[in-house]
């Protein structure tokens, strides 16, 4: 409808109603009636204001000279001469009747300043304490003569025999030391030079045995008896568990070859993989709680001992080490662990419940209640999160009421998206030179309810300088095409909601006008 016609009809309607002494706008969606322009004496003698027209509540370029509802059942908003005193302050606000708000179950909660304590949760695994792991590797060549511990996983005590070895080099070294020791005793009455030379030989032989990890007890026994032993016994350096065993009866080993590995599991590590966005909150020395699937009723407590300086580029996580006491050896290496790292707040911030945020993937929206049945979608910048709340850096102030329940119902189809479009471009006023909506006539060929897309063969559109063609349009609401069948001739209005995204806002069966010419080409969008 042209603006001039709408304005004239609106003035006539306003005059008739004023002559009758006032009128009521029935708002079925709100369940109440609102008096508009009750006369010069109303509200302290304020002058009666005329209604120019009614505009779409979602900011779409659709006006009406009389009250009406949009396909979603929301009332059109009256536009008064001299301004809309009772309408939302901007076109990107949403107005819903009080009764509908109650039916939707809309619930609001005030944004609050609070200390945003949170818990960082991460998956982890139990690992042996590397500082309590010992390798048994002889420093000479030899043969495994006898095994005293022959099973991986067997617990051992400190000093417990593990295996015995035979080595020709070892026997030769023992004999050399025994002879040197006897020579020192025999040369006690000789001159100092002879004694010093023999003593130096004995000390050299003793150092060689000690470098091979021969125990002090075995050296003393050798010095006292002067008898060499064919085999040497290796003992466990610590109480723990055999975590690796490569020694076999009779095998030959080379210097430095690891034959046993013993781990002290009285204290273990839990290495947790903390996500990149949470690592800034984790500090060394903080407490941590660990839960193990094998013991669901137990909580193990420890301290963060180290935050690794590397990031796993595949999982985008940073390893964090937690040290735990392990009484009873309940924690086994490679067990799966769930780690909770409490994080203290860095001061008070404005927060809203997590359920208040509508995340589209490209932006985050919060619905702010401005009044009874009036909501404004705001784009917000979010900060840290806790389990139930999220910090709002920008977009919402302390004390403002935000929708925390049924906001996804208000965000139905394209209605909220149309209101949000006001963020990027100001609303075109009626009568402005810039045209937002476009009218066309054509034939509906197909409608896909899954994607909300209608294929329409339309005629030329002068406002966009489009030729006749067949193309796809998004439909703002399924109710617009519910009664239409493929092949129906239609007149429709549409807007550009996004780059190359054309949305139909109104459809009606075509009148007596000639059908739109057939499309000469196919078009999928602009």
Over residues 325-352, mean pLDDT: 87
**Number of domains comprising the chain:** 5
User: Same structural domain for residues 143 and 32?
Assistant: no
Contact yes or no for 59/77 (Cβ under 8 A): no
User: Same structural domain for residues 218 and 289?
Assistant: no
Please tell me which residue, 266 or 106, carries the higher pLDDT value.
266
Lowest mean pLDDT, pick from 32-36, 255-259, 354-358, 500-504 = 32-36
Over residues 425-454, mean pLDDT: 69
341 three-class SS: strand
- Give the residue among 160, 133, 136, 157 at the shortest CA–CA distance from 148: 160
Residue 404: what pLDDT?
87
- Look over the chain and give the mean of its residue pLDDT values, rounded to a whole number: 77
User: Same structural domain for residues 460 and 408?
Assistant: no
User: Same structural domain for residues 318 and 242?
Assistant: no
Structure-block tokens of residue 47: 């002058």
Give whichever of 31-45, 115-129, 316-330 has the largest mean pLDDT: 316-330
Is the per-residue pLDDT at 23 higher than 60?
Answer: no
> Of the candidates 423, 451, 467, which is a domain's last residue?
423
User: Same structural domain for residues 12 and 70?
Assistant: yes
Residue 408: what pLDDT?
64
Over residues 77-87, mean pLDDT: 58
DSSP 141: -
Residue 204: what pLDDT?
83
User: Same structural domain for residues 242 and 157?
Assistant: yes
Residue 421: what pLDDT?
52
% of the chain exceeding 90 in pLDDT: 27
Over residues 318-336, mean pLDDT: 93
Contact yes or no for 62/505 (Cβ under 8 A): yes
Per-residue pLDDT band at 4 (split at 50, 70, 90): very low
pLDDT in tens, 187-219: 777 777 777 887 888 788 788 887 887 777 777
User: Same structural domain for residues 152 and 177?
Assistant: yes
Residue 88: what pLDDT?
42
Please tell me which residue, 37 or 391, carries the higher pLDDT value.
391
User: Same structural domain for residues 169 and 235?
Assistant: yes
Is the per-residue pLDDT at 9 higher than 80?
Answer: no
Phi first, then psi, for residue 190 (nearest 5°) are: -80, 180
Over residues 39-49, mean pLDDT: 48
Residue 112 is assigned to a structural domain of this protein:
yes
Return d(Cα 78, Cα 80) in angstroms, integer. Answer: 6
User: Same structural domain for residues 408 and 451?
Assistant: no
Judging by DSSP bridges, how do beta strands 469-475 and 501-509 pair with one another?
parallel
Per-residue pLDDT band at 410 (split at 50, 70, 90): low
Exposed/middle/buried for residue 401 (C-beta within 10 Å: 0-12, 13-18, 19+): middle
Residue 433 is assigned to a structural domain of this protein:
no
The angle formed by the CA atoms of residues 173, 175 and 178, to the nearest 5 degrees, is: 110
Structure-block tokens of residue 42: 């109303």
CA dihedral 479, 485, 489, 491 (to 10 degrees): 10
Over residues 360-372, mean pLDDT: 82
Please tell me which residue, 8 or 207, carries the higher pLDDT value.
207
Please tell me which residue, 299 or 181, carries the higher pLDDT value.
299
Is the per-residue pLDDT at 369 higher than 90?
Answer: no
Contact yes or no for 362/344 (Cβ under 8 A): no
Residue 182: what pLDDT?
74
Is the per-residue pLDDT at 286 higher than 60?
Answer: yes
Residue 431 is assigned to a structural domain of this protein:
no
Please tell me which residue, 519 or 231, carries the higher pLDDT value.
231
User: Same structural domain for residues 231 and 272?
Assistant: no
Residue 514 is assigned to a structural domain of this protein:
no
Return d(Cα 7, Cα 81) in angstroms, integer. Answer: 10
> Of the candidates 295, 323, 343, which is a domain's last residue?
343
- Name 400's Cβ contacts closer than 8 Å, sequence gap at least 6: 110, 111, 368, 369
Return d(Cα 34, Cα 26) in angstroms, integer. Answer: 7
- Give the residue among 418, 505, 508 at the shortest CA–CA distance from 62: 505
Please tell me which residue, 333 or 62, carries the higher pLDDT value.
333
Is the per-residue pLDDT at 496 higher than 70?
Answer: yes
> Of the candidates 423, 453, 473, which is a domain's last residue?
423
Q: What are the Cα distances from residue 334, in Å, to 329, 364, 400? A: 13, 40, 50
pLDDT in tens, 84-134: 444 444 556 777 777 777 777 788 889 988 887 778 899 999 999 999 999
The stretches of 125-268 forming alpha helices (DSSP H) are 168-186, 192-211, 216-225
Over residues 415-437, mean pLDDT: 47
Residue 133 is assigned to a structural domain of this protein:
no
User: Same structural domain for residues 454 and 362?
Assistant: no
Residue 486 is assigned to a structural domain of this protein:
yes
Give whichever of 45-49, 144-148, 501-505 has the largest mean pLDDT: 144-148
User: Same structural domain for residues 247 and 193?
Assistant: yes
Per-residue pLDDT band at 160 (split at 50, 70, 90): very high
Residue 521: what pLDDT?
39
Over residues 369-375, mean pLDDT: 81
CATH number of the domain where residue 303 is located: 2.40.30.170
Per-residue pLDDT band at 436 (split at 50, 70, 90): low
Residue 262 is assigned to a structural domain of this protein:
no
Per-residue pLDDT band at 47 (split at 50, 70, 90): low
Residue 36 is assigned to a structural domain of this protein:
yes
- Residue 16 belongs to what domain range? 3-87
CATH number of the domain where residue 447 is located: 2.40.50.320
């Amino acid at each position: 409808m042209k603006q001039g016609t709408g304005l004239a009809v609106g003035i006539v309607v306003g005059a008739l109603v004023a002559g009758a002494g006032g009128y009521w706008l029935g708002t079925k969606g709100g369940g109440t009636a609102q008096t508009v322009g009750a006369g010069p004496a109303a509200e302290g003698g304020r002058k009666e204001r005329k209604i120019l027209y009614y505009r779409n509540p979602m900011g779409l370029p659709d006006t009406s000279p009389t009250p009406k509802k949009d396909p979603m059942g929301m009332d059109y908003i009256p536009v008064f001469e001299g301004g809309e005193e009772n309408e939302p302050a901007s076109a990107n606000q949403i107005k819903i009747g009080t009764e509908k708000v109650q039916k939707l179950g809309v619930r609001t909660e005030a944004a609050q300043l609070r200390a945003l304590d949170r818990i960082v949760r991460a998956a982890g695994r139990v690992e042996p304490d590397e500082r309590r792991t010992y390798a048994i590797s002889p420093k000479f060549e030899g043969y495994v003569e006898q095994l005293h511990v022959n099973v991986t996983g067997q617990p051992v005590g400190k000093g417990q025999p593990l295996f015995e070895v035979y080595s020709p080099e070892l026997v030769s070294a023992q004999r050399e030391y025994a002879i040197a020791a006897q020579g020192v005793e025999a040369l006690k009455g000789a001159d100092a030079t002879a004694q010093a030379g023999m003593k130096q030989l004995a000390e050299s032989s003793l150092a060689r045995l000690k470098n091979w990890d021969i125990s002090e007890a075995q050296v003393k026994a050798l010095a006292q008896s002067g008898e060499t032993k064919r085999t040497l016994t290796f003992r466990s350096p610590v109480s723990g568990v055999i975590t690796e065993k490569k020694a076999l009866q009779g095998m030959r080993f080379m210097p430095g070859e690891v034959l046993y590995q013993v781990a002290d599991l009285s204290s273990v590590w839990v290495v947790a993989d903390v996500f990149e966005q949470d690592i800034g909150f984790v500090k060394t020395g903080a407490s941590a709680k660990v839960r193990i699937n094998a013991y669901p009723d137990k909580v193990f407590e420890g301290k963060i001992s180290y935050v690794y300086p590397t990031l796993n580029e595949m999982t985008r996580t940073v390893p964090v080490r937690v040290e735990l006491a392990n009484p009873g050896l309940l924690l086994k290496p490679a067990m799966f662990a769930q780690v909770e790292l409490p994080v203290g707040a860095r001061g008070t911030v404005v927060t809203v419940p997590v359920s208040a945020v509508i995340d589209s993937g490209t932006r985050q929206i919060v619905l702010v209640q401005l009044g009874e049945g009036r909501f404004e979608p705001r784009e917000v910048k979010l900060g840290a999160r806790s389990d139930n709340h999220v910090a709002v850096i920008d977009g919402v102030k302390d004390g403002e009421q935000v929708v925390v329940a049924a906001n996804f119902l208000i965000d139905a189809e394209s209605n909220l998206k149309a209101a949000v479009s006001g963020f990027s471009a100001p609303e075109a006023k009626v009568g402005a030179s810039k045209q937002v909506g476009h009218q066309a006539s054509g034939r509906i060929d197909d409608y896909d309810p899954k994607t909300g897309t209608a294929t329409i063969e339309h005629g030329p559109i002068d406002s966009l300088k489009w030729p006749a063609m067949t193309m796809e349009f998004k439909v703002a609401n399924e109710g617009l095409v519910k009664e239409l069948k493929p092949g129906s001739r239609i007149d429709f209005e549409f807007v550009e909601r996004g780059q190359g995204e054309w949305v139909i806002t109104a459809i009606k069966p075509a009148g007596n006008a000639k059908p739109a010419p057939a499309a000469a080409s196919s078009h999928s969008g602009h």
